[in-house]
Amino acid sequence: MSYTVYDFAIIGAGAAGLHLALAMQEDSFFSNKKILILEKEEKNCNDRTWCFWETGKGKWENILRHSWKQGSMFNSREEIPLEMGNYSYKMVRGLDFYKYAIKEIQKSANFHWIKDEVFEVTKGSRVKITGTQGTYEALQVFDSRIQQDFFDTEDKYSRVLQHFKGWFIETETDIFDPEKFTMMDFRKTWENTTSFTYVLPFTKRKALVEFTFFTPELVESEVYESMLREYIEEILKPGKYQITEKEGGVIPMSDYPFHKENDWQVIKIGTAGSWVKPSSGYSFKNAERYSQQLISNIKSNKIPAAGIPNKKFRFYDSLFLEILQNKNYLGKELFSVMYKKNPVWRIFRFLDEETTLKEDIKMMSDFNPRPFIKAMVKVIRR
Ligand SMILES: Cc1cc2nc3c(=O)[nH]c(=O)nc-3n(C[C@H](O)[C@H](O)[C@H](O)COP(=O)(O)OP(=O)(O)OC[C@H]3O[C@@H](n4cnc5c(N)ncnc54)[C@H](O)[C@@H]3O)c2cc1C
């Protein structure tokens, strides 16, 4: 019986694994390489809704569910319109992305998909991957399993959680503007925390309404539900409405160095590879960007994860997380100042890590310096 040694193996076909697999498939450098994908689930559920921003037409136009050219942010006093510039805020359903990616990958005979749960990866002359169904070997492995020590260790890093529950609602009268989304609405918050509502309207009567926390601890399930109900009834005032679907999630917002053990053979990807932007929890576009960066590094014979993540922006993220972790009630004020003093296109560029030092200093000078100076002292000391 022949035994295959794969050139590359991808563990986990979620956002990161599928972005990477698609990017490899599109690049002729990989067309004669044997690529194994190991995924424990069927990937046939719509388990999340991904939003991201970009200018012009992007790679996902054919699976977009909706996009918005206008938006707002609300602090407790006023509505702040978002100056989008050339950006659109776009939405893809998880299931549409999984279906599209799986169909594309199936077109290439050099990709081999096996449903298996991996429990061990061992480095040697080749990497040995042990799953519940079998053992596999590859020269390089991209692994999206989150390291257990992230959950176990009490260390110097900040661990804030973005946790939320969302309801897809349908109203009996026209109350939404499907052209305009709400990024953050701080008119209803939970007990001195950084918490807000996010509204994505799809039609005049259908929207996803999500109550979100950026806090170190989770809350009881009923809290999200009661905040959602309050927001819908007191702010949206839709009259009668139906909940047609629900979603929820917990995204780690942390400066923990997930990427610390990356080397030539085993490279962590996705949340497990520090691909989630620590200060925002967004990762869909990072997965697209970082997959390209891995490919470019591999092709130029550099260490695959070189440059991931960017050190300057990681430092800014650490400052912001330090404040959210220790003075969580300040989040509302920080976001309010950020959106009031900056067009959102600049904030998008900053979150995409495209701004220059001069632009960064300009943005930071808008904030009350005290909490940032304190955070800086703490972050530099560690
Ligand atoms: C409801 C929800 C809404 C979100 N909205 C947004 C958003 O709007 N924009 C945005 O940018 N981000 C959003 N996120 C965050 C984003 O989805 C995650 O950051 C992203 O999915 C992380 O990518 P990943 O590949 O690391 O993990 P995942 O996408 O979770 O993929 C990991 C994959 O690995 C598989 N796996 C795990 N362990 C094993 C194992 N041992 N063996 C084999 N396979 C394994 C899993 O089954 C899974 O398929 C949202 C998250 C949720 C839950």
Q: How confident is the model over 186-199, as a mean pLDDT?
A: 97
β-bridge pairing 206-215 and 195-201: antiparallel
Give me the amino acid identity at 282.
Answer: Y
Centre of ligand 1 from the C-alpha of residue 15, in Å:
6
Atom of ligand 1 nearest to the CA of 276: 19
Q: Does residue 50's CB lie within 6 angstroms of at least one atom of ligand 1?
A: yes
CA-wise closest residue to 21 among 380, 373, 288, 205: 288
224-252 confidence digits (pLDDT tens): 999 999 999 999 999 999 999 999 999 99
**Can you give the pLDDT at residue 308?**
95
pLDDT bracket for residue 183 (50, 70, 90): very high
CATH of residue 227's domain is 3.30.9.10
97-144 confidence digits (pLDDT tens): 999 999 999 999 999 999 999 999 999 999 999 999 999 999 999 999
The CA radius of gyration of the chain, in Å to the nearest whole number, is 22
In a domain, 132, yes or no: yes
Give the DSSP H/E element, type plus range, for residue 322: helix 311-326
Task: Tell me: do 246 and 260 sit in the same domain.
Answer: no
CB count within 10 Å of CB 122 equals: 12
Centre of ligand 1 from the C-alpha of residue 89, in Å:
20
Q: How confident is the model over 299-304, as a mean pLDDT?
A: 96
Q: Does residue 291's CB lie within 6 angstroms of at least one atom of ligand 1?
A: no
Alpha-carbon gap, residue 376 to 373, rounded angstroms: 5
Centre of ligand 1 from the C-alpha of residue 43, in Å:
11
Q: How confident is the model over 338-354, as a mean pLDDT?
A: 96
In degrees and rounded to multiples of 5, residue 74 shows phi and psi of: -120, 125
Task: Tell me: do 263 and 274 sit in the same domain.
Answer: yes
**Can you give the pLDDT at residue 2?**
60
Task: Tell me: do 173 and 224 sit in the same domain.
Answer: yes
Q: Does residue 52's CB lie within 6 angstroms of at least one atom of ligand 1?
A: yes
Task: Tell me: do 266 and 283 sit in the same domain.
Answer: yes
245-295 confidence digits (pLDDT tens): 999 999 999 999 999 989 999 999 999 999 999 999 999 999 999 999 999
In a domain, 60, yes or no: no
List the residue whose alpha carbon is closest to atom 2 of ligand 1: 48
Query: Of the residues 264, 299, 334, which one is the last residue of a structural domain?
Result: 299
Q: Does residue 51's CB lie within 6 angstroms of at least one atom of ligand 1?
A: yes
Q: Does residue 288's CB lie within 6 angstroms of at least one atom of ligand 1?
A: no
13-71 confidence digits (pLDDT tens): 999 999 999 999 999 999 999 999 999 999 999 999 999 999 999 999 999 999 999 99
CATH of residue 262's domain is 3.50.50.60
Centre of ligand 1 from the C-alpha of residue 52, in Å:
15
Contact between 9 and 269 under an 8 Å Cβ cutoff? The reply is no
Query: How many distinct structural domains can be found in the chain?
Result: 3
Centre of ligand 1 from the C-alpha of residue 14, in Å:
5
CA-wise closest residue to 350 among 337, 363, 340, 332: 363
**Can you give the pLDDT at residue 116?**
98
Task: Tell me: do 140 and 202 sit in the same domain.
Answer: no
CA-wise closest residue to 219 among 245, 198, 194, 183: 194
Q: How confident is the model over 188-197, as a mean pLDDT?
A: 96
Domain that holds residue 130: 5-46+95-153+255-299
Centre of ligand 1 from the C-alpha of residue 55, in Å:
24
List the residue whose alpha carbon is closest to atom 7 of ligand 1: 50
User: What percent of the chain shows pLDDT beyond 90?
Assistant: 96
Alpha-carbon gap, residue 378 to 41, rounded angstroms: 41
Centre of ligand 1 from the C-alpha of residue 76, in Å:
32
Task: Tell me: do 100 and 228 sit in the same domain.
Answer: no
Contact between 21 and 113 under an 8 Å Cβ cutoff? The reply is no
